[in-house]
Structure 1
Amino acid sequence: MRKKAITLIASEETYKNLSTFETIDQLNETVRTYKEMLSTELNKTCVAVLDLLHRYSAKYTGVSFLRKNQIGELIGKSRRTIIRACKKLEELGIIRQYEMKRNSDMQQTSNAIVIQPLEEVFGSNHQNVTQEEIENPIVSSSKKMEMSHQENNLYSLKQNIINKRYNGDETEFTSNRVPKKFKDLASNFYDSANTIEELWKVVKCATSKLDYTFSEITDMACDSFRQLVRQIKKNRIRKNIYACYWGIVNNILDQMFYEERYELEKELGVI
């Protein structure tokens, strides 16, 4: 049976409904975090495209209407290169593209390209698949990419555990900004200094505005890493390891916050 096509009419109401952020500050923080957290996944063209979409997403926060040709002209790349870059950004969950049609003649017009909130990529809770996602081939392709990331992460971790072969331990070259306790733990499973540094960068981004001591942050990071290893061994990783680790870190930070609030309310006699 042929699937029913999904049609979005280009209108102000549609653009408002597609908007994913309440404020420009939220959008700015999200784009900054994507570029920091996924720096190993994004090439220069992807970053340039993301920056351009960011700049042109102010009227309806997070939504832009640039054609691929326009994007290519603005950053000096071919249309084909821009299509590949947008596909990569979509596979990572950073953006989502919607085909739009004019209400006057129902002919296709510029796609709406929507920057997704952090929860779409780094959220730990699996969201239910909507009927729209089932019918949208772009989403189907994205799911296949997530499964591929999952298989690669599991294989990589198992191989590192089984075949712990070092010709001079690369983790010795890990940045001194990474605490030794965290480096020693992570190096039992990953022999890449870059991987360990990227995992620590997740922690720094998540705790940058929180008032915890360095020791508390390090302990939390180690607890989160242990949970990450368990998730990988149980084959529960939907995206890359950094996305999963982001979700785990934020869950533990939430638990710490509620525990501290409970203790404070208890001391004050509120409960």
Structure 2
Amino acid sequence: MTIKSAVVESFSEYSQFGSLKEFNNHFEMWMADKKRFFSKGELIGLKRLARFAAKVPGVANAKIGTVLKAIYEEYGEIGISRSTFKRMILKASEIGIFTVYETARKNGSQSSNLYVFNRFPMNELPDGNQLSHQYKTIIPSETIIKKNNKREEKAAEEQSSEIQRLKSGDEKVPEEHLFVSNRVPSEFVNLVKYFYPTAKSIEEFWRMSKVAAYRNNYEKETDLLLSLSLDSFKQLVRKLKSKVEVKNPIAYFAGILNKKYQERYFEELYDLQVA
């Protein structure tokens, strides 16, 4: 189907969303369920295209060159190729994330494509309590976000006394760490137990490690996951021993991890560019 080229506001009738927030929620659910089908470069292209769909929620009218230029300006010399972006378009349209319409100028020549993002099919909503293949799927719906926030707030409250003990230098290790799930690597347990000795706290920190790895497409690299988790926790400990107050250690730990994964990703991109 070919439609006449126009400014993006003219295509508001194609939008399937009542607000930008609703579009973002559905896009995040698409990512939680389908991101494993895309390479890192393709994900960069897809997420950048989604940002072009903000003026009219879920509708983007941009030339490929315009999107690639925006990526280049955001990431510096490390961008993605036109062929990578086209592969992303093919995959995303086949999966059903968006529908592509060709637009034509008044003289009949082809113009930029119109990308109409689709709603996530709720009858296929991934179950956040089960594993997708061997990795946990995270559903960013409002209900689950609220539950996760409450969970982190409760964990932060439970850990407040442990933070005070850490700053006072008490390093007595209770026996409760022996009840940590065997899914948590012993190296991680042996580090965390000196500062957060409860099994619940140790498992929560490791859960956030797995979440960060999944969100950054490194969940299969188990050695890297463990190494960055240990480094990130040590960095958290240094912060806790300083005069800076950390209200939510788990969230702070997750932030450190995400930053390390992003740095790792850009290092890999650079290596690919110079190879």
TM-score when normalising by structure 2: 0.44
Specify the structure having the higher radius of gyration (Cα): 2
TM-score when normalising by structure 1: 0.45
